[in-house]
Structure 1
Amino acid sequence: MAQSDSRKQITVGIFILLGLFIFVLAIFTLGGQRKSFVKSFTVSVVFSDIQGLKAGNNVWYSGVKIGTIKKIQFYGQSQVQVFVNIEEEAHKYIHKDAKASISSDGLIGNKIIVIEGGNPKYPFVEDGDRLQVNTTLSTDDIMKTFQVNNKNLVDITGDFKTLSAALVAGKGTAGALLTDEKIANNFKAIVANLQKTTASTDRMARELDQFSKKLNTKDGLADKLLTDTVVFARLQASVNELQKTARSASAMTENLNNATSKLNKTDNAAGLLLNDPKTADQVRAIMTNLQSGSHKLDQDLEALQSNFLFRGFFKKKAKEAEKAAKPQQ
Structure 2
Amino acid sequence: MPDSSTSKQVRLGLFVVVGVGCLLAVLYLLGRQQNLFQSSLPVQADFRNVAGLLPGNNVRLGGITVGTVEDINIINDTTVRVNMSLNKDVQPFVRRNTVASIGTDGLVGNTIINLTAAPGPAPAVQADDRLPTQEKTSIDAMLATLDVSNQNLVGITTGLRQVTNKLNDSKALWELLSNEQLPADVSQSVRNAAAASAQLNAAATDVHQLTSGVRQGQGPLGYLLTDKAFAGQIGHAARQLAGTSDTLAATLSGLQRQVQHGGGLLQVLLTDTAAARHLRQTMGNAAQSTVKLNQSMTALQHNFLLRGYFRRKAACEKARRERLARDSARLAH
Report the TM range for the smaller structure's normalisation.
Answer: 0.5 to 0.7
Aligned CA distance change for structure 1 residues 195 and 26 (closer, same or farther; 3 Å): same
Moved over 4 A (4+): 1-12, 138-144, 180-194, 212-216, 220-224, 231-234, 278-285
Q: CA deviation at 1:7?
A: 5.9
Q: CA deviation at 1:251?
A: 5.0
RMSD: 4.1
Aligned CA distance change for structure 1 residues 203 and 24 (closer, same or farther; 3 Å): same
2:202 corresponds to 1:207:
yes
Count of residue pairs brought into register by the alignment: 266
Letter in 2 for 1:62: G
2:196 corresponds to 1:195:
no
1:59 is paired with a residue whose SS is: strand
- Structure 1 contact 41–87 (Cα < 8 Å) conserved: yes
Aligned CA distance change for structure 1 residues 282 and 38 (closer, same or farther; 3 Å): closer
Aligned CA distance change for structure 1 residues 70 and 180 (closer, same or farther; 3 Å): same
TM-score under structure 2 normalisation? 0.64
- Structure 1 contact 60–66 (Cα < 8 Å) conserved: yes
Counterpart of 1:249 in structure 2 is 241
- In 2, distance between residues paired with 1:101 and 1:21? 39
Counterpart of 1:259 in structure 2 is 250
2:227 is paired with a residue whose SS is: helix
- Structure 1 contact 104–139 (Cα < 8 Å) conserved: no
Q: CA deviation at 1:141?
A: 4.4
Question: What's the % identity of the aligned pairs?
Answer: 23
Counterpart of 1:22 in structure 2 is 22
- In 1, distance between residues paired with 2:88 and 2:5? 53
Letter in 2 for 1:98: T
- In 2, distance between residues paired with 1:279 and 1:271? 11
After TM superposition, the structure 1 = structure 2 runs for residues 21-100 of structure 1, keeping only pairs within 5 Å, are 21-100=21-100
Unmatched tracts of structure 1, length 5 or more: 171-175, 264-268, 289-329
- Structure 1 contact 107–139 (Cα < 8 Å) conserved: no
Q: Provide Cα deviations, 1:136-166, integer angstroms capped at 9, x if missing partner.
A: 5456544544443334333322221222112
Unmatched tracts of structure 2, length 5 or more: 273-333
- In 1, distance between residues paired with 2:65 and 2:75? 26
- Structure 1 or 2, whichever has the larger Rg, is 1
Letter in 2 for 1:237: A
Q: CA deviation at 1:27?
A: 0.8
- In 2, distance between residues paired with 1:127 and 1:240? 97
Moved more, 181-190 or 143-152: 181-190
- In 2, distance between residues paired with 1:252 and 1:185? 76
- In 1, distance between residues paired with 2:242 and 2:95? 90
Q: CA deviation at 1:66?
A: 1.4
2:232 corresponds to 1:240:
yes
Q: CA deviation at 1:189?
A: 9.8
Q: CA deviation at 1:168?
A: 0.8
Aligned CA distance change for structure 1 residues 186 and 101 (closer, same or farther; 3 Å): farther
Counterpart of 1:179 in structure 2 is 174
Q: CA deviation at 1:95?
A: 1.9
- In 1, distance between residues paired with 2:244 and 2:181? 66
- Structure 2 contact 93–124 (Cα < 8 Å) conserved: yes
1:133 is paired with a residue whose SS is: coil
- In 1, distance between residues paired with 2:248 and 2:188? 59
- In 2, distance between residues paired with 1:74 and 1:34? 23
Counterpart of 2:150 in structure 1 is 150
- Structure 2 contact 59–67 (Cα < 8 Å) conserved: yes
2:159 corresponds to 1:159:
yes
